C-alpha cells in the first residue's frame, strides 16, 4: 500500500484524500479512542507499514519505538483493537482511530486507558500530585503477558530505572 | 515552574507524581478533548514552558513548531481553551487535557475539531477517499484571523504548496 503524497496546502487541509505526513523518524502519532465511551485509551505511533496494516486489516497496528518493530496491538495480551473509524487531522500529521477493544483494556500497566492519572489540581499546581482515575486495574499484566508489566517494553523508549 | 525528573520506571508508570518526559526536541504531545462531548479536538505539542503556563493559568498553551514560539490557544481567534483536567499517560510522554472551548471551535480551518475528515472505508481501502464529518465550518477563519486560513501557520511545520 502506497500512500498519496502531500501536495498543496489546500489539498492537504481541505481536500478529500488521505495524504498522511510522517515525521523525520517516519512516524505519525495516533490517538486511540474507545468508539462507544469516547474515552481516550492511548497515544501510539505508526510508521507507514503500521498505518497500512491498520487500514488493510481493521485491527490497530503501531510501531514500537522501544522494540523498533511493527506491533499488532493485542498480539501478546489478546486485547485486540478493532477499528471502527479512522480520522485524520487538518494538516494530516495526526491520526485518530475509534476502536472496540477486546477485553476492554488497552494499557500494558493493566488499566483500561493509558491515561489513568490526573493532576490533582489542574491549575496553579506546584506539587504535581496525581490522582488515579481507575479504582483498579482491568487485567493483571503478569497474567496477560506472563511477566511483570514493568519489565515489558512499552510503546515508548524506556527510561533506565 | 520546574518539573520533577523522570526516575524509576515504577515511579513513572505507577507513581503519584507528574514527571513529564519531553522528546529530543523538548516537546510532549498533547491530546485536547472536549470535556463535555468527549470529542477529540486536536493534537498539539507543548514544551516545558507551554505545559507550565497551561498548569499555571488554566488556559491551554502549546508550542507552535511552525512559528517556533509559545502559543496561547485563542490569542488571535479568541477561541480560548479552558482546562478542566490534565491527565498523563502511563510512561508520561503524552498529555491529555479536557477543555471547555470558547466559541466551540478549535481548528484553524474553521471546524469544531481538527479531526473533521474520516476515511470513507475504514478497512481494505485503496482509494484513500475522505468524508467530511462536520457539515459546515463553525466559524469563518478569514473573519477570525483576518486572513485566509491557508495562509496561516498551523500547529505543525507547513508543507510548501
pLDDT at B6 over 80: yes
**3-class DSSP state for residue B151?**
helix
Sign of CA dihedral A51, A83, B84, B107: positive
pLDDT 10s digits, B107-138: 888 888 999 999 997 666 678 999 999 877 87
At B160 the pLDDT is 31
Which of A35, A37, A89, A119 is the mutation pick for testing B, counting most B CBs within 10 A? A89
Residue A24, Cβ density class (10 Å: 0-12 exposed, 13-18 middle, ≥19 buried): exposed
Domains located in chain B, CATH noted? 9-104 (3.10.20.810), 117-158 (no CATH)
Nearest to A154 by CA among B7, B85, B156, B89: B89
At B122 the pLDDT is 63
What's the mean per-residue pLDDT of chain B?
86
At A157 the pLDDT is 39
Which residues 107-136 of B are in CB contact (within 8 Å) with A?
A: 107-109, 111, 114-119, 122-126, 128-133
Query: What pTM did the predictor assign?
Result: 0.87
At B138 the pLDDT is 77
Which of A37, A117, A158 is the mutation pick for testing B, counting most B CBs within 10 A? A117
* CB atoms A17 and B129 under 8 Å: yes
Q: Which residues of B66-88 are buried (b: 16+ CB within 10 A; e: fewer)?
A: eeeeebbbbeebebbbbbeebbb
| Mean pLDDT score, B70-99 | 95
**What does the pLDDT profile of chain A (161 residues) look like in tens digits?**
899 999 999 999 999 999 999 999 999 999 999 999 999 999 999 999 999 999 999 999 999 998 999 999 999 888 999 999 999 999 999 999 999 999 877 788 888 899 999 999 766 667 899 999 987 887 777 776 765 444 444 554 333 32
At B158 the pLDDT is 36
CB B95 within 8 A of CB B20: yes
* CB atoms B114 and A12 under 8 Å: no
Amino acid at each position: 500500500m502506497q500512500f498519496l503524497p502531500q501536495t498543496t496546502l489546500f489539498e492537504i487541509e481541505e481536500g478529500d484524500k488521505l495524504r498522511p505526513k510522517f515525521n523525520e523518524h517516519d512516524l505519525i502519532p495516533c490517538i486511540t479512542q474507545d468508539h462507544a465511551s469516547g474515552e481516550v485509551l492511548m497515544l501510539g505511533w505508526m510508521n507507514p507499514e503500521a498505518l497500512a496494516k491498520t487500514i488493510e486489516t481493521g485491527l490497530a497496528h503501531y510501531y514500537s519505538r522501544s522494540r523498533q518493530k511493527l506491533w499488532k496491538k493485542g498480539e501478546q495480551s489478546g486485547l485486540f483493537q478493532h477499528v471502527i473509524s479512522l480520522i485524520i487531522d487538518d494538516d494530516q500529521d495526526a491520526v485518530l482511530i475509534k476502536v472496540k477493544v477486546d477485553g476492554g483494556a488497552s494499557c500494558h500497566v493493566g488499566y483500561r486507558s493509558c491515561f489513568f492519572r490526573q493532576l490533582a489540581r489542574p491549575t496553579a499546581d506546584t506539587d504535581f500530585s496525581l490522582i488515579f482515575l481507575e479504582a483498579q486495574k482491568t487485567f493483571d499484566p503478569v497474567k496477560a503477558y506472563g511477566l511483570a508489566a514493568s519489565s515489558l517494553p512499552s510503546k515508548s523508549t524506556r527510561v533506565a530505572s
